[in-house]
């Protein structure tokens, strides 16, 4: 038996009372495990097998298959289940993790950032669409997919103050003469560059910044271009999203 921190990314019901879980561990990456009898009325594993459950999971490996034995739940992000916008944001985060998680691939910073983002989605503290943008930019950086924002990704000329273009295909900012892209303001470029280099909590300084909705649109298009499959629902990205 071994124990690991993990987050429940998804579950599939099978037989009458069992579930197959996909967990994300900071040290072990993706783990697929059976939770036997977890849907029986008095099962101690019932709450531990819900999506968004984070805790310390004890697992047993036998004949190449993992079985969940026990879980000490640390956080269930319950308010996500009470609001459709929060739930959409949370489900989107789990989808992004399912897209990148590989067995045996440790990524503690991504795990911790994901829990922080889920806490903002569930409990507020930031406009929801801004918290989602923050997560998207951290996710791209922590999975080695960040857009290049400090210099033109065609000619390499550094960007200082000038506006430019943004290309999801070429992977970042461009000079106006170097290719085709969406217009990119200096302010939005600074946000796209700075957010992944600062702690998630630093986002609390952003509300009121005039350029963050533009940055959020670019971040979304950059993520969308890189996903193998889209989420069932995309969270809203406009500034109309209400305060958390
Ligand atoms: Zn250039």
- Calculate how far, in angstroms, residue 192's C-alpha sits from the geometric centre of ligand 1: 18
- Calculate how far, in angstroms, residue 135's C-alpha sits from the geometric centre of ligand 1: 28
- Calculate how far, in angstroms, residue 55's C-alpha sits from the geometric centre of ligand 1: 47
The pLDDT confidence band at residue 76, using thresholds 50, 70 and 90, is very high
Task: Show the domains of the chain with their CATH numbers.
Answer: 2-75 (2.40.50.140), 79-226 (1.20.1440.120)
d(CA 23, CA 197): 27
| Mean pLDDT, residues 53-62 | 97
147 and 138 Cβ atoms separated by less than 8 Å:
no
- Calculate how far, in angstroms, residue 178's C-alpha sits from the geometric centre of ligand 1: 5
What pTM was computed for the model? 0.94
Tens digits of residue pLDDT in 186-227: 999 999 999 999 999 999 888 788 899 999 999 999 999 999
- Calculate how far, in angstroms, residue 173's C-alpha sits from the geometric centre of ligand 1: 8
The pLDDT score that the predictor gives to residue 205 is: 87
- Calculate how far, in angstroms, residue 221's C-alpha sits from the geometric centre of ligand 1: 21
Tens digits of residue pLDDT in 93-147: 999 999 999 999 999 999 999 999 999 999 998 999 999 999 999 999 999 999 9
Q: Any long-range contacts for 56-61 (C-beta under 8 Å, 24+ apart)? A: 56/3, 56/4, 56/5, 56/6, 57/3, 57/4, 57/5, 57/6, 57/23, 57/25, 57/33, 58/1, 58/2, 58/3, 59/1, 59/2, 59/3, 59/4, 59/31, 59/33, 60/1, 61/2
- Calculate how far, in angstroms, residue 159's C-alpha sits from the geometric centre of ligand 1: 9
- Calculate how far, in angstroms, residue 182's C-alpha sits from the geometric centre of ligand 1: 14
Q: How far is CA 142 from CA 52, 108, 188, 215, in A?
A: 20, 10, 20, 18
| Comparison of pLDDT for 163 and 68, the residue scoring more | 68
- Calculate how far, in angstroms, residue 151's C-alpha sits from the geometric centre of ligand 1: 8
């Amino acid at each position: 038996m071994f124990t690991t921190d993990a987050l429940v990314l998804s579950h599939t019901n099978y037989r009458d009372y069992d579930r197959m879980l996909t967990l994300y561990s900071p040290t072990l990456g993706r783990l697929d495990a059976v939770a036997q009898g977890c849907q029986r009325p008095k099962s101690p594993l019932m709450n531990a097998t819900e999506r968004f459950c984070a805790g310390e999971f004890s697992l047993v490996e036998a004949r190449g298959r993992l079985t969940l034995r026990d879980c000490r739940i640390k956080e269930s992000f319950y308010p996500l289940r009470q609001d459709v916008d929060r739930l959409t944001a949370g489900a989107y985060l789990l989808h992004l993790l399912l897209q990148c998680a590989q067995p045996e691939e440790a990524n503690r910073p991504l795990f911790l950032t994901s829990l922080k983002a889920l806490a903002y989605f569930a409990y507020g503290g930031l406009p929801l669409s801004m918290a989602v943008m923050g997560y998207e930019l951290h996710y791209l950086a922590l999975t080695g997919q960040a857009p290049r924002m400090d210099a033109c990704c065609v000619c390499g000329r550094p960007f200082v103050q000038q506006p430019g273009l943004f290309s999801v295909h070429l992977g970042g900012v461009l000079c106006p003469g170097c290719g085709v892209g969406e217009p990119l303001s200096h302010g939005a470029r600074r946000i796209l560059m700075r957010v992944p280099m600062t702690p998630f909590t630093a986002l609390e300084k952003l509300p009121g910044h005039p350029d963050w909705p533009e940055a959020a649109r670019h971040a979304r298009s950059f993520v969308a271009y890189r996903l193998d499959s889209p989420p069932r629902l995309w969270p809203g990205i406009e500034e109309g999203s209400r305060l958390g």
